[in-house]
A and B are shown apart, each in its own frame.
Chain A
Amino acid sequence: MEQLLAQLAILVIAAFLGFELISRVPNLLHTPLMSATNAIHGVILVGGMIALAASDDVFTQTIGFIAVFFGALNVVGGFWVTNRMLGMFRPPVHKVKKRKR
């Protein structure tokens, strides 16, 4: 019971934190930001590893294996594509100075 309450507290605080984190993001960064948060929910891979490790028959092993495969795809693909996207933006110091004129 105590553990559940702690988990609920974390849930609520994390939710408010998430709401506050994204405020007035320039349009320019909407796609990279979506892509990066997409990579972060790849943390589900942790769950996949736990599930696969706990599996003891063919059924759970199969779905656990697929879950880990999916999770790894989510993490690696997500971070990689975000990095590629952001790498295309020029050094922005240059941009900010000129735009202000």
Chain B
Amino acid sequence: MQVVTFLAYLLAAALFIVGIRRLRKPDTARSGNTIAGFGMAIALITTLFVIDFRSLVLIGIAVLLGSVLGAISAQRVPMTAMPQMVAAYNGVGGGAAALIALSEFYHLQSGGEESLVATITVPLTILIGTVSFMGSVVAFLKLQEIAFSGSVTFPLQQVVNALLFVGILVLAANAISDGSLLPFLSPVGSVIAILAASAILGVLLVIPIGGADMPIVISLLNAATGLAAAASGFVLENYILIIGGTIVGASGTILTRQMSGALGRPLRKIIFAGIAATGTGSKQGGGEDREVNDSSPEEAGSYLAEEAQKVVIVPGYGLAVAQAQSPMHDLMETLESQGKEVLFGIHPVAGRMPGHMNVLLAEAGVPYEKLYDLEDINPEFEDADAVIIVGANDVVNPAANDPDQDTPISGMPILDVEKAEKVIFVKRSLSPGFAGVDNPLFYDTDKTMMVFSDAKQGLQQINEAVKNS
């Protein structure tokens, strides 16, 4: 029986690997996800055969509840809110790992077989799993804009984090040494204290990180949950947990590095960003009373109709929030019907994650071949007559390239929209974007037309104006 279990787990692991491999290319990605799902089904069904069948009812109820909630939430979540949904699924995975380790430790203490490896890996699993759980909760709250918006910092934050970490190490030593270090605290008590301290640590590690860096944090926490799963595999002596968890931990780390590379944001800078930025504040309201070229949709429309031949549209998160994909699609068709060239410039973090905007535009029916990546679109701006920026700011903010300014977006590669003849912002107000940095382009009254409007309404009105002129 053990051999069969082992081989089935091996098959599941192989399917995970094939699945991830296929996810590297767009045309095989969906089948890759399905294959990995099959691997998961094999691992789960195999496990059902090796556990005590009397517990199946309880397991069945828990699986049913989790599956129903998972399916409903995954089906219902609007694609705009998808990053925080991934954060939520990631968090519960980390939480599960921590709880499993806690349960197993309790079991070992109340007369189970003593195992040094398990005793050592329990605190590790609880630490990583709980940090991932609470970190994901904070990421979710930030992205959903419920709490902790911007960068939340307080004095001596790093010192507090370091003390918490040392405290966790002491507690872990106490748990492993059977309570000989701190006589007043039982091993189970110390493990529960580790859980509590890790929860606080998880919150403190993520609250200082600004919203724009959240995708990278989620990716990092994803890798962490993988590691927690692998560590729990050592606790339970289970191979599929070790293999599956380690692969996710390692590939998640590389993916995080690639993402932060695509954004020009070194990981170290992200993790310590909030702390370094203390005092400068994230909201810069200084530019409010400066003059802008406040334009009506009609003015923008008639410029587009009469003067522009090549138009680049830069969609941002605001477009998705306003559900303006379809009016944008209409505007594209109107412009093309007048013989103009229309391209879309997609910044790697347009939306809130690399690739997020591609998902949203695909949903709206914009043809793939019109979507250009950062490197492909930047040379196109020079001979573009107009750029229409809808609900985006950070990704076109030239302040990111200004070496004299130290902002949360400094060093991030941007779309060079300022090279185009005219820049049309469709935006509700002058408020800075998600990263909270003011955009000098707003105040370039010769080049920039500011159309203050809801993205949906603004695009509809511009579309009408283009048709009528």
Once the chains bind, are B259 and A30 in contact (CB under 8 Å)?
A: yes
> Which residues of chain B have C-beta atoms less than 8 A from A78's C-beta?
70, 74, 86, 89, 93
CA distance A42 to B88 in the complex (A): 12
Q: Are B103 and A7 in contact (CB under 8 A)?
A: no
Q: Across the interface, do B97 and A47 meet the contact criterion of CB distance under 8 Å?
A: yes
**In contact, B33 and A72 (Cβ under 8 angstroms):** no
In the complex, per-residue mask of A63-101: 1 if CB is within 8 Å of any chain B CB, else 0: 111111111111111111111111111111111101100
**Most chain-A Cβ atoms within 10 A of its Cβ — which of B82, B99, B218, B359?**
B99
Taking a contact as CB atoms under 8 Å apart, the answer to whether A80 and B97 are in contact is no
Residue of B nearest to A90 (CB): B368
CB<8 Å pairs between A and B, sample of 6: A54-B52, A60-B103, A68-B66, A75-B44, A77-B88, A78-B70
Q: In the complex, what residue of chain B is closest to A87 when comparing beta carbons?
A: B30
Asked if A18 and B251 make an inter-chain contact with CB atoms under 8 angstroms apart, the answer reads yes
Chain A interface residue count, Cβ-Cβ cutoff 8 angstroms? 85
Tell me the minimal C-beta distance from B35 to chain A in angstroms: 10
Kindly report which residue of chain B lies nearest to residue A18, judged by CB atoms.
Answer: B250
A residues engaging B (CB < 8 A)? Answer: 3-4, 7, 10-11, 14-19, 21-55, 59-61, 63-96, 98-99
The residue in chain B whose Cβ has the minimal distance to the Cβ of A54 is B107
Query: Would you list which residues of chain B between 201 and 258 have a CB under 8 Å from chain A?
Result: 215, 218-219, 222, 225-226, 228-230, 232-255, 258
Which residues of B are found within 8 Å of A33, using beta-carbon distances? 20, 23-24, 255
B90 at the interface (CB under 8 A from A): yes
Interface of chain B residues 102 through 120 with chain A (CB within 8 A): 102-104, 106-107, 117
A50 touches B236 (CB 8 A): yes
Cβ contact within 8 Å between A46 and B355: no
User: Given A30-B355, A36-B32, is A70 in contact with B245 using a C-beta cutoff of 8 Å?
Assistant: no
